Amino acid sequence: MSQPRLLMLDEPSLGLAPLIVQEILTEIGQLRHSGLSVLLVEQNARAALKVSSEGHVLEGGCITLSGPAQELSEDERVRHAYLGGA
């Protein structure tokens, strides 16, 4: 790649072994920390929020929640609906 400014990924963990998923997410986090903007669409909310600075929750095609990833991962509504409860 010739110095992209944005990397867009749609479900990069889909169908992969957990070890491979962890490697991919680690690399995504490193790319983000190096200054590359990353747009990540991922149903594995727990993993996505760990490597993100901010997040948006979509329901029925509409954004229902937005905010810093850390705040979303601690939000009771998000934890109950997408992160498996407490």
Pull the structure tokens for residue 56: 């948006």
The pTM for the full model equals 0.81
pLDDT at 56 > cutoff 60: yes
- The residues pairing with 9 across neighbouring beta strands, listed in sequence order, are 40
Going by DSSP bridges, is the β-strand pair 37-41/54-59 parallel, antiparallel, or unpaired?
Answer: unpaired
Mean of pLDDT values over 52-75: 92
Q: Measure the CA–CA gap between 9 and 76, rounded to whole angstroms.
A: 27
pLDDT at 63 over 90: yes
- Cα–Cα distance, 83 to 85 (Å, whole number): 6
For the chain, the average pLDDT equals 91
More confident residue, 82 or 54: 54
Q: What is the mean pLDDT of residues 44-70?
A: 92
